[in-house]
């Protein structure tokens, strides 16, 4: 699936959030950090935890990301912060991993909180994180999530700006982690 499945364009949905940064570290190191979901709480101010679970939500013993596995993301801090405060809205998401492309350094998942037949109409979100090598062995990190469906208009209005802040904060924190300052 990962060879045929490509990232969405920002124009493919109701709205999109994106972020990118250049990290002074090899892409193998950045990839290792991105795929170590259990350590997100150590560095990511936006997505504080990611756990691979079965379809019922029970954590899996093997936490290696693979296509077709379910991913429970919680807590999500809106706005992004390492510590929750009175102004922090805490959210969660239930996803399915659609791409783990180790060869091309691409990782993607889609929201599956709603039954499949309702997703195109009510809420569909497609999230990608991609790494590429740039000058001098540095790594370019790119993230995009495209939202579709009726609920996407409300998500954009209610938390769209916080989601954008979260994506940007993740890039900054990933850079700090990979460059050794976190």
Q: What is the residue-wise DSSP string for 76-89?
A: EEES--SS--TTPE
pLDDT tens across 32-71, in order? Answer: 999 999 999 999 999 999 999 999 999 999 999 999 999 9
What pLDDT shows up at residue 181?
61
Tell me the H-state helices in the chain: 27-35, 40-43, 150-178
What pLDDT shows up at residue 1?
43
Q: What is the pTM of this model?
A: 0.92
Residue 2 — very low, low, confident or very high, per pLDDT cuts 50/70/90?
very low
| 50/74 Cα distance (integer angstroms) | 6
Q: What is the mean pLDDT of residues 29-34?
A: 97
10, 18 contact by CB (below 8 A): yes
pLDDT tens across 130-142, in order? Answer: 999 999 999 999 9
The CATH code of the domain at 10-178 is: 3.30.530.20
Distance from chain centroid for Cα 31: 13
State the Cα angle at 13 between 76 and 169, rounded to 5°.
30
Domain ranges (residues) in the chain: 10-178
């Amino acid at each position: 699936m990962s060879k045929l499945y490509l990232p969405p364009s920002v124009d493919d949905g109701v709205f999109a959030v994106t972020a990118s940064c250049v990290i002074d570290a090899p892409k193998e190191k950045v990839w290792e950090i991105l795929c170590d979901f259990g350590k997100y709480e150590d560095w990511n101010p936006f997505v504080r935890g990611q756990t691979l679970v079965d379809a019922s939500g029970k954590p899996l013993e093997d936490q290696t990301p693979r296509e077709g596995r379910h991913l429970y993301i919680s807590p999500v801090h809106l706005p992004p912060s390492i510590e929750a405060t009175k102004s922090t809205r805490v959210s969660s998401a239930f996803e399915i991993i659609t791409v783990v492309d180790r060869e091309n350094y691409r990782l993607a998942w889609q929201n599956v909180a709603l039954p499949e037949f309702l997703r195109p109409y009510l809420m569909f979100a497609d999230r990608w994180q991609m790494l590429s090598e740039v000058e001098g062995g540095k790594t370019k990190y790119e993230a995009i999530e495209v939202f579709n469906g009726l609920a996407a208009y409300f998500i954009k209005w209610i938390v769209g700006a916080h989601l954008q802040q979260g994506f940007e904060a993740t890039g900054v924190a990933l850079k700090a982690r990979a460059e050794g300052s976190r």
